[in-house]
Amino acid sequence: MTRRRWIATEFDEETATLSGDQANHLIRVLRAEPGMRADVVAGERVFQAVIEHVAEASVRFRLEQEVARDDSLPVELLLAIFKFDRMEWAIEKAVELGAGTIVPVIARRTEKHLAQAATARVDRWRRIALEAAKQSRSSSVPEIAAPCHLSEALATRRSADRLRIVLSEHEKIMTLTRCIANVKPGQEKLSLATGPEGGWSSEEVALFSESGWTAASLGPRILRAETAAIASLALVSGLLGKPSFR
């Protein structure tokens, strides 16, 4: 049976301590007790570990043998905000597929009430992402950035050290698979952007192009926003997940 994996909030060379939601789950649902074993991520390293003390709201592990890391991919997903139930599903699956960073983006066609409520949702999205990372046995803590407007997101991603791809149902020539096949050495970092339910506006399409993003298609069908996000990550993880890209 695979061992559970926890991400420690505090640690030193010999011990790691869980608190907050993870400790709560471990204590009250899994009935933590000294001697139980798990894997624990302690900063940059992952260890086999054994519980040595259970308190009211924290669990301390003794760290034993170090094990290999399995980090998320150098991929960030700019996810235009859409209905929160489906957005949560997309965040969970994106992290399972290896996205290291998710940036919730307010696009021209993001519904107004969702844009207004997004900031208050970030903590929940972070919890969902952390659970998905643990569940998929990633040793990285995924980053869920604060929601921002598309123009701001593009302005801070002008560097050519990363391949930047905007998924567009209007692109008829370039496919995502071809785009990824063109990844050059030293350019393994990747940004992917998927639009809201109403799609990108023509001004946004122009802004992506001026900012050096390549438009790519996922085929002739119009996919829902969450399907496009997951399908694109499944494709890139097939290539970027290879050890030569780590």
Residues forming the site for ligand SAM (CB under 6 A) = 167-169, 194-195, 197-200, 217-219, 221-225, 228
- Cβ closest to ligand SAM, residue 81 vs residue 225: 225
- Cβ closest to ligand SAM, residue 178 vs residue 221: 221
- Cβ closest to ligand SAM, residue 22 vs residue 217: 217
CA distances 191 to 13, 178, 212, 219, 236, Å, are 35, 15, 12, 19, 11
- Cβ closest to ligand SAM, residue 37 vs residue 170: 170
- Cβ closest to ligand SAM, residue 153 vs residue 167: 167
The residue nearest ligand SAM at its CB is: 195
Q: How far is the CB of 199 from ligand SAM (least distance, A)?
A: 2
Tokens 């991919």 locate to 73
CA distances 113 to 13, 23, 124, 147, 175, Å, are 47, 34, 17, 14, 33
Q: How far is the CB of 89 from ligand SAM (least distance, A)?
A: 14
Closest CA to 147 of 169, 124, 163: 124
Nearest-angstrom CA–CA distance, 121 and 128:
11
Cβ-based neighbour number of residue 58 at 10 Å: 18
- CA dihedral defined by 200, 204, 206, 209, rounded to 10 degrees? -90
- Cβ closest to ligand SAM, residue 73 vs residue 90: 90
Q: How far is the CB of 26 from ligand SAM (least distance, A)?
A: 38
Closest CA to 40 of 21, 16, 57: 16
Nearest-angstrom CA–CA distance, 68 and 217:
36
Q: How far is the CB of 198 from ligand SAM (least distance, A)?
A: 5
Given a contact cutoff of 8 angstroms between Cβ atoms, the answer to whether 168 and 200 are in contact is: yes
Q: How far is the CB of 4 from ligand SAM (least distance, A)?
A: 35
Q: How far is the CB of 169 from ligand SAM (least distance, A)?
A: 4
